[in-house]
Amino acid sequence: MKRLFACLLAGLALVLPVRAEPIRWVDFDVSTESMAYAMQQDIRTAEQEKHLSWIEILALAACRTGGKCPLSAVKKAAKDLEGDVSPEEAAGELGKYYVYYYKAYSAALGGLVGSYAIFKDGQWVPQYGLKTFSPIAAGYGYSHCDDFGVGRSFGFKRKHLGNDLMGGLGTPIVAVEGGTVEAMGWNRYGGWRVGIRSFDGKRYYYYAHLQKDVPFAPGLAEGDMVEAGQLLGFMGRTGYSDKENVNNIETVHLHFGMQLVFDESQKECDSEIWIDVYQIVKLLSTHRSSYRKNDGVWQRVYLYKDLDWAEFPYFSDPATQTFRPSSSK
């Protein structure tokens, strides 16, 4: 009887689908220079028969170097992939590591490069390239350093899981990538903050310490869908208080963080995956969303559409510079 039961279990194991374990940790250690070079190859070959994916380039370089991705390894990976060979074939015996880095980098970088359009000179102009933005609007100065992992003590001892960008009070803060406003309001650590979930669900962007009294863009609400580069709020120094609307942070700055979500059970748990975004922020510094204020109303200078997300239910109306439901909604 026991033998029969064991055989039945073995048979079930053969026919039932096995759920792959999600990635539990990502140590993102790719330089701005390496990302920029890989991205350039992706953009350069976008319309060629062999389109080089910047994520495949970086993943191949990472599996060969233990995740360090020096520029020399990235250049070699790009050259190797130009031929008639797949990334898995190029990785050879390191194939299982390539799969891991491809999944990890797809989660971290998957929404950064692609097809988009800007409204300029009376018409929509389609483009391909870096389609995400610096969290700091164009024309506003800021400074930052790699402070990921630095100790914090308010409430309890912990590590700093983001990048602090120091700037002026009231500096406009914009969405790096399009997505859904998943969290908005007061947090005892982050003060006034906004959390944006990318449309593919893999990235959760955290913007914290927004301005006292006027933290958010007018009309922004939890559950809204936002475009990349859309105004979210204004830089401040709120936080470190159970009481709302309190300036307890010493220096005006934006705390910007990115959490990777491979499985919904990872979204809020003791083992959340937050990555060091310092190098990504440096990469995004070359692409900034422009705003102007007319009669007290913030308006985007160049309107934008993400062409990779056709299901996005809103579009920028060039006539009013506001967001309206699309005809497909």
- Alpha carbons within 13 angstroms on the beta-carbon side of residue 2 total 0
Structural contact between residues 242 and 191, judged by C-beta atoms closer than 8 angstroms: no
In this predicted structure, the answer to whether residue 312 has a pLDDT above a threshold of 80 is no
Q: At what angle do helices 54-65 and 71-82 cross, to 10 degrees?
A: 120
Query: In the predicted model, what is the mean pLDDT of residues 145-153?
Result: 80
Query: In the predicted model, what is the mean pLDDT of residues 71-88?
Result: 96
In this predicted structure, the answer to whether residue 316 has a pLDDT above a threshold of 60 is no
In this predicted structure, the answer to whether residue 5 has a pLDDT above a threshold of 50 is no
The pLDDT of residue 266: 85
How many angstroms separate the Cα of 127 from the Cα of each of 43, 50, 116, 229, 280? 10, 19, 5, 16, 21
pLDDT tens string 181-203: 999 999 999 999 999 999 999 99
The pLDDT of residue 120: 86
In this predicted structure, the answer to whether residue 154 has a pLDDT above a threshold of 70 is no
∠ CA 165-180-29, rounded to 5°: 45
In this predicted structure, the answer to whether residue 299 has a pLDDT above a threshold of 90 is yes
φ, ψ at 17 (rounded to 5°): -65, 140
| Average pLDDT score over the chain | 88
pLDDT tens string 162-183: 999 999 999 999 999 999 999 9
- Alpha carbons within 13 angstroms on the beta-carbon side of residue 11 total 6
Largest CA distance in the chain: 83
CATH code of 130-321, in short, is 2.70.70.10
pLDDT tens string 232-244: 999 999 999 999 9
pLDDT tens string 104-132: 999 999 999 999 998 888 899 999 999 99
The pLDDT of residue 14: 42
Q: Which of 55-69, 82-96, 243-257, 264-278 has the lowest mean pLDDT?
A: 264-278
In this predicted structure, the answer to whether residue 6 has a pLDDT above a threshold of 80 is no
The H or E element that residue 6 is part of is helix 2-15
Do the strands 203-208 and 253-260 form a parallel or antiparallel pair, or are they unpaired?
antiparallel
The pLDDT of residue 156: 62
Per-domain boundaries in the chain: 25-109, 130-321
